[in-house]
């Protein structure tokens, strides 16, 4: 006997079970009917319809009904539990828009303009938020495209071609175009604008390829060229109608229009016309995704001491410059310290063309009397790494060339000085040779940290019988007079080498005079050849070998004593989330991922 499900659509679905050979027989019991029902389903392998399931209770006895009810309840509860688990497992706290942040800066804004902002740290901080360049430094990813969607480099490394993003707009809503790029770099190269970046783009031609593409043509290959293109692009329509020679006087320098994550909102002046605060608001159409924090306000202070007082009294929520030995005194539950690495080397630069420091043997003795480890431990509280070379750490090789050429040994330093004829007479603390006293001056910028380091060196040299005093100079005078005129015997200073560490500005003989940064006035033909060759190749191993040659030459001459590579100490509000700074090129790069910062949160699903 064989059963099948018919197409009968009567209200009693079980009436469809019939013998194929004769008329249907009445079902005599639920148990018999249930067996027939199950055999029919097994034979046809079709799932019962909803109408059939509604008659299932007729097939079950009391015990089976209780089991079925319990199983049904457990099934429903399990489904609900799975849904709740799935919901909560993927629900998390995510950034929300809103909130404001106030930060203290040391100095005052003058030119929120990429042509001039590199000369003033305050201008550089604000300009970095308002403007964007073809490339940018990302604290995690390194040097990456910004306004550029993509780029190519010719085989001979003299032609760089960039395609611009199609979604980048100025803060007035107009699109960024190749015309703006050409205007910006033409202005940077023009002597009429008097930009401090003039030398960086001398000999570089730029031309438009199509409506979204520009090319830079270099006279010779220059490996670090990409890193120079982080300079902010300016809107040609906003700046093009001004006389280049009067651009520095324009009010537009303080009311910028850029394409970055934040746009100008307002600034406030005191009765003397001095800017007291400067506020930016997030640009909602920023191509990189709108920032979360609504407003960032900067307040300005003339000294580090005034800035420290402002953060202690909670007039600001963060401070851009905090000496490492002052961090503990200002910390409270609302603050956090962020310490990214900097590609900076702090050194004692000897003016080797001046006075006593022209003696190579004396310079070596002073290096031997310098305890670098003590400086890092006692003054910098461990927030730095000792170094013995001008070369960036990622270009160093594991060879003897990078070991300390003048390891600290106070007894050896004393012996070296004695051999040079610098003797200590009875009852005297400072050595002299005949009537000449071994008294030197260390010049440095008027900042607490550098002054503290200089004083530590004075203390160490005194143990060897060398007299030294510290001369601290106002930052503006330091830049405009001391460096320009090379007016120092010994200079304690840091040099920032950028994302691609080109040593040409600091050690090539052509850079001895201002505006070059060869602070020791060091000149050597073989050193020049190594530097020139290194900047013409992008092959890292080749550059490492050339830099090793340079280090050997510098170690022999000792034009400087390299001390340490510092971290950047940034104190900001703990309410700011999303700060992830591994390394930065300049302090302004602390805002490199500002679009990811957030204050407020909400519940949302993981992406």
Q: What is the pLDDT of residues 91-122, one digit of tens each?
A: 677 899 999 999 999 999 999 999 999 989 99
- The total of other beta-carbon atoms located within 10 Å of residue 349's CB is 26
The pLDDT value recorded for residue 33 is 57
The pLDDT value recorded for residue 515 is 83
CATH of 103-302+586-598, one of 3.40.630.10, 3.40.190.10, 3.30.750.24, 3.40.830.10: 3.40.190.10
Segment 26-38 shows an average pLDDT of: 56
The pLDDT value recorded for residue 259 is 98
Residues of the chain with CATH 3.10.105.10: 344-566
3-state secondary structure of 478: helix
290 contact partners, CB below 8 Å, separation of at least 6: 97, 261, 282, 283, 284, 595
3-state secondary structure of 151: strand
Residues of the chain with CATH 3.40.190.10: 103-302+586-598
- The total of other beta-carbon atoms located within 10 Å of residue 343's CB is 19
The pLDDT value recorded for residue 10 is 43
The pLDDT value recorded for residue 23 is 44
30 contact partners, CB below 8 Å, separation of at least 6: 58, 59, 60, 61
Task: Give helix then strand counts, H and E, for the chain.
Answer: 18, 23
Q: Report whether pLDDT(34) > 70.
A: no
Max mean pLDDT among 55-64, 178-187, 426-435 falls in 178-187
Q: Which of 85-99, 148-162, 251-265, 397-411 is predicted with the least confidence, judged by mean pLDDT? A: 85-99
Measured CA to CA, the distance from residue 214 to residue 226 in angstroms comes to: 14
Specify whether the CB–CB gap between 298 and 266 falls below 8 A.
no
The pLDDT value recorded for residue 16 is 41
Specify whether the CB–CB gap between 308 and 113 falls below 8 A.
no
Q: Report whether pLDDT(512) > 60.
A: yes
> Is pTM, for the whole model, over 0.85?
no
Measured CA to CA, the distance from residue 186 to residue 135 in angstroms comes to: 18
3-state secondary structure of 602: strand
| pLDDT level of residue 77 (50, 70, 90 thresholds) | confident
The pLDDT value recorded for residue 17 is 40
Residues facing 153 on adjacent strands: 160
Average pLDDT of every residue of the chain: 88
Measured CA to CA, the distance from residue 309 to residue 330 in angstroms comes to: 8
Q: Report whether pLDDT(470) > 90.
A: yes
| pLDDT level of residue 30 (50, 70, 90 thresholds) | low
Backbone angles phi, psi at 384, to 5 degrees: -170, 165
Segment 42-56 shows an average pLDDT of: 64
Superfamily of segment(s) 344-566: Dipeptide-binding Protein; Domain 3 (3.10.105.10)
Note the pLDDT tens digit of each residue in 530-575: 999 999 888 888 999 999 999 999 999 999 999 999 889 999 999 9
User: In 3D, which of 551, 562, 557 has the Cα closest to residue 397?
Assistant: 551
Distance of CA 465 to the CA centre of its chain: 43
The pLDDT value recorded for residue 499 is 76
The pLDDT value recorded for residue 15 is 43
Note the pLDDT tens digit of each residue in 267-297: 999 999 999 999 999 999 999 999 999 999 9
235 contact partners, CB below 8 Å, separation of at least 6: 170, 172, 174, 176, 180, 257, 258, 259
Using the CB atoms, write b or e for 398-432: b if 16+ within 10 Å: eeebbebbbebeeeebbebbeebebebeeeeebbb
* Residue pointed to by tokens 């290096």: 367
Q: How far apart are the first and last CA of the chain?
A: 59
Within the chain, what is the greatest distance between any pair of CA atoms? 139
Sort 375 into a burial class: Cβ within 10 Å, 0-12 / 13-18 / 19+.
buried
Q: Report whether pLDDT(479) > 90.
A: no
Beta-carbon-side half-sphere exposure of residue 547 (alpha carbons within 13 Å): 26
| pLDDT level of residue 448 (50, 70, 90 thresholds) | confident
The pLDDT value recorded for residue 4 is 40
Measured CA to CA, the distance from residue 428 to residue 364 in angstroms comes to: 23
Q: Report whether pLDDT(45) > 90.
A: no
Does residue 585 or residue 124 have the better pLDDT?
A: 124
Q: Report whether pLDDT(441) > 60.
A: yes
Please tell me the chain's helix, strand, coil percentages from 3-state DSSP, rounded to the nearest 5.
35, 20, 40
| pLDDT level of residue 421 (50, 70, 90 thresholds) | very high
| pLDDT level of residue 5 (50, 70, 90 thresholds) | very low
Peptide bond into 515 cis (omega under 30): yes
| pLDDT level of residue 18 (50, 70, 90 thresholds) | very low
Share of the chain above pLDDT 90, in %: 66
């Amino acid at each position: 006997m064989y059963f099948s499900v018919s197409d009968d659509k009567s209200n009693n679905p079980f009436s469809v079970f019939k013998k194929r050979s004769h008329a249907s027989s009445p079902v005599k019991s639920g148990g018999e009917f249930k067996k027939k029902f199950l055999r029919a389903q097994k034979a046809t392998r079709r799932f019962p319809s909803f109408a059939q399931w509604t008659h299932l209770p007729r097939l079950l006895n009391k015990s089976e009904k209780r089991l079925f009810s319990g199983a049904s309840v457990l099934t429903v509860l399990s489904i609900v539990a799975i849904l709740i688990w799935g919901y909560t497992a993927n629900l998390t706290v995510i950034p929300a828009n809103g909130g404001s942040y106030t930060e203290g800066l040391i100095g005052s804004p003058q030119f929120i303009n990429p042509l001039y902002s590199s000369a003033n740290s305050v201008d550089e901080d604000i300009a970095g938020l308002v403007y964007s360049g073809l490339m940018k430094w990302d604290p995690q990813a390194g040097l990456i495209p910004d306004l550029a969607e993509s780029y190519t480099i010719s085989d001979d490394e003299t032609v760089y071609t960039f395609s611009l993003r199609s979604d980048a707009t100025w803060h007035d809503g107009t699109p960024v175009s190749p015309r703006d790029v050409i205007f910006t770099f033409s202005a940077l190269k023009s002597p009429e604008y008097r930009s401090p970046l003039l030398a960086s783009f001398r000999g570089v031609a730029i031309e438009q390829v199509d409506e979204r593409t520009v090319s830079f043509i270099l006279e010779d290959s220059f490996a670090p060229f990409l890193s120079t293109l982080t300079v902010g692009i300016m809107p040609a329509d906003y700046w093009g109608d001004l006389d280049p020679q009067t651009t520095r006087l324009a009010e537009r320098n303080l009311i910028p229009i850029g394409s970055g994550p934040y746009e100008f909102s307002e600034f406030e002046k005191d009765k003397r016309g001095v800017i007291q605060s400067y506020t930016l608001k997030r640009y909602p159409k920023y191509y990189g995704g709108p920032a979360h924090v609504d407003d960032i306000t900067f307040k300005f202070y003339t000294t580090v001491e005034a800035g420290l007082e402002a953060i202690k009294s909670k007039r600001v929520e963060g401070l851009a410059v905090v000496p490492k030995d002052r961090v503990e005194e200002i910390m409270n539950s609302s603050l956090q310290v962020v310490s990214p690495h900097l590609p900076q080397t702090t050194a004692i630069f000897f003016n080797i063309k001046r006075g006593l420091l022209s003696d190579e043997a004396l310079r070596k003795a002073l290096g031997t009397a310098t305890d670098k480890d003590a400086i890092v431990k006692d003054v910098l509280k461990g927030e730095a790494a000792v170094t013995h070379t001008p070369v960036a750490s990622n270009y160093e090789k594991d060879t003897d060339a990078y070991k300390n050429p003048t390891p600290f040994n106070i007894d050896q330093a004393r012996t070296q000085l004695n051999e040079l004829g610098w003797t200590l007479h009875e009852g005297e603390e400072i050595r002299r040779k005949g009537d000449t006293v071994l008294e030197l001056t260390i010049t440095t910028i008027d900042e607490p940290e550098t002054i503290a380091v200089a004083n530590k060196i004075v203390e160490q040299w005194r143990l060897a019988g060398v007299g030294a005093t510290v001369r601290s100079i106002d930052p503006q005078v330091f830049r405009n007079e001391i460096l320009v005129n090379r007016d120092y015997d010994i200079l304690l200073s840091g040099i920032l080498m950028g994302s691609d560490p080109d040593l040409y500005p600091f050690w090539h003989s052509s850079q001895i005079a201002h505006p070059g940064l060869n602070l020791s006035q060091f000149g050597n033909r073989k050193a020049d050849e190594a530097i020139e060759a290194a900047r013409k190749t992008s092959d890292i191993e080749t550059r490492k070998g050339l830099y090793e040659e340079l280090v050997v030459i510098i170690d022999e001459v000792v034009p400087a004593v390299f001390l340490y590579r510092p971290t950047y100490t940034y104190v900001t509000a703990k309410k700011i989330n999303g700060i992830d700074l591994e390394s930065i090129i300049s302090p302004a790069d602390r805002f490199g991922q500002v679009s990811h910062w957030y204050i407020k949160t909400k519940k949302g699903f993981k992406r």
